[in-house]
Amino acid sequence: MDYFRNFLPAFVSSQLDFSSITQIPDTYLSKNLQKTMSDIVYSCYLKGEQNHIMISLLIEHKSFPDKFSAVQIGSYLFSGYEKQIKNKEPLSLIIPILLYHGKGKWKYQPLSGLFKNLDPGWKQFVPDFDYIYNNLGEISDQEVETLENNFLIASLLSLKHSFEKSWLEANALKILILSNDAPENLQYNLAVYIFANSSLKEHYVSELIKSLPLKIKNTVMSTLDLLEKIATEKGLKKGIEQGIEQGIEQGIEKGIEQGIEQGIELGKADVIKNLLANTDFTTKQIASLTGVNEEMVIDLHKKTDSGK
């Protein structure tokens, strides 16, 4: 809700009753969308009315500009409307939001922009639409830190600097402390994200753990436990155990760095299964973290669910 309050255009946010915002259950989505968007679709009433507006938050986590995003968003929109019709619901507006946090600058373009040198007369046949584009690279850290929701601050800063290992290492303590009052599952996801995207050294991890409040410390230790399991499956159990139990011994550097970097590289299937079982990450986020295509994550998810 705080994200919507702060990053929707004023025309939109000023007319929404945020006290009525509700997450849409998986059953609302088509089967294809359930695989990637089960946590990011919400409904909200207009102020003073009983008309629903469907708000969709589409987080692509792209590391590079994707000129075909409009096609992907279009498929999402029409799939959502088809689902409303199938559920015999009155059609309600869906507002797509694209959050970009890649390295390069990206000026998004609508669907019609993909058809170059098209005679204006033909553009009437292009199913054009607009969407809200948030580029974190254009928002300063100072602006982000003025938000009232500490977990939102931590999440946006982590996304914005996700490709800057040195920044994540220098600010890991700050990010984790900001998430101290968030629900445990959100803390857990953020901790996994930070450790997976940084290269924290053994002495720093040990000092970081000592400096954390008890609540988030337990979450971080649980996160390290998950990473230990991942590393163990790749023959790095000894390094991880030494790192967690002895703090500043050789284990943290060998276990965390090699466990994340080599364990993920050499045992992607096992890593994916652990992330599916122990986090709320979407299939796209897991694919991005492990460097595989989304189809592999979806296939492993199906096999896990079927008990194969």
In angstroms, how far is CA 120 from the centroid of its own chain?
Answer: 38
Among candidate residues 68, 86, 71, 72, the one with its CA nearest the CA of residue 29: 86
The confidence score (pLDDT) of residue 32 equals 45
- Cα(75)–Cα(69) distance, integer angstroms: 10
One digit per residue, the tens of pLDDT, for the chain of length 308 reads: 788 888 888 988 888 888 888 877 644 444 444 344 334 677 888 887 766 677 765 555 566 778 888 888 888 888 888 988 998 988 888 888 888 888 778 887 888 888 888 888 888 898 888 888 888 888 899 999 999 899 899 989 988 888 888 888 888 888 888 888 888 888 888 888 887 777 777 667 777 887 888 878 888 887 777 666 665 555 444 544 455 555 544 544 554 455 545 544 546 777 778 777 777 778 887 777 777 788 888 888 887 776 65
155-182: pLDDT as tens digits: 899 888 888 888 888 888 888 888 888 8
Other beta carbons within 10 angstroms of residue 96's beta carbon come to 22
- Cα(194)–Cα(134) distance, integer angstroms: 22
List the domain boundaries for the chain: 1-138, 142-266
Contact 305, 294 (CB under 8 A): no
Say whether pTM exceeds 0.85: no
Question: Taking the C-alpha atoms of 192, 275, 61 and 175 in order, what is their torsion angle to the nearest 10 degrees?
Answer: -10
Three state DSSP letters for 180-235 = CCCCHHHHHHHHHHHHHHCCCCHHHHHHHHHHCCHHHHHHHHHHHHHHHHHHHCCC
Contact 41, 24 (CB under 8 A): yes
Backbone CA torsion sign across 131, 276, 244, 209: positive
Contact 209, 248 (CB under 8 A): no
The confidence score (pLDDT) of residue 33 equals 40
Other beta carbons within 10 angstroms of residue 30's beta carbon come to 16
The confidence score (pLDDT) of residue 232 equals 59
Given strand 132-135, what is the order of strands in its sheet?
A: 16-23, 41-46, 52-59, 93-100, 132-135
In DSSP notation, 43-111 reads EEEETTS--EEEEEEEE---SS--TTHHHHHHHHHHHHHHHHHHTTPPP-EEEEEEEE--SS------G
Residue 236 backbone dihedrals phi, psi, to 5 degrees: -115, 25
